[in-house]
Amino acid sequence: MIITHDEFDKVDIRMGKVVVCESVEGSEKLLRLQVDFGEEVGERQILSGIAKYYKPEEVVGKTLPFVINLESRKMMGLESQGMLVAVNAQGQPVLLQPDKEIPLGSKIC
């Protein structure tokens, strides 16, 4: 599917630092991430289905890209306020990380 530049511009992808990451009780797939996006956006809770591939301690402290303007979604009784952006490498998620330190909340362009 081809989308226009105007449609793509609607997606707000920002860099956030994972300050807390823990398994979601009752789920084999979900991790609960508390993500700091800096002053403009603040912190958000984001659920991600990466638990089969990453341990919580491997994710804490990482600065990663997230879509922050998605409609909130309830999963396992918890609200997810965004979506982690990762690469699908042969059916497994691979986290994307900047090669330099950047300000939290930096927008992907």
Domain ranges of the chain: 5-85
Q: 15-19, 47-51, 81-85, 105-109 — which is least confidently predicted?
A: 105-109
**CATH value of 5-85 in 3.40.1410.10, 3.50.50.60, 2.40.50.140, 2.70.98.10:** 2.40.50.140
What's the average model confidence in pLDDT over 41-54? Answer: 98
Task: Tell me the DSSP string of 2-61.
Answer: ---HHHHHT--EEEEEEEEEEEPTT-SS-EEEEEE--TTT-EEEEEES-TTT--HHHHTT
Residue 101, pLDDT above cutoff 90: yes
pLDDT of residue 109: 84
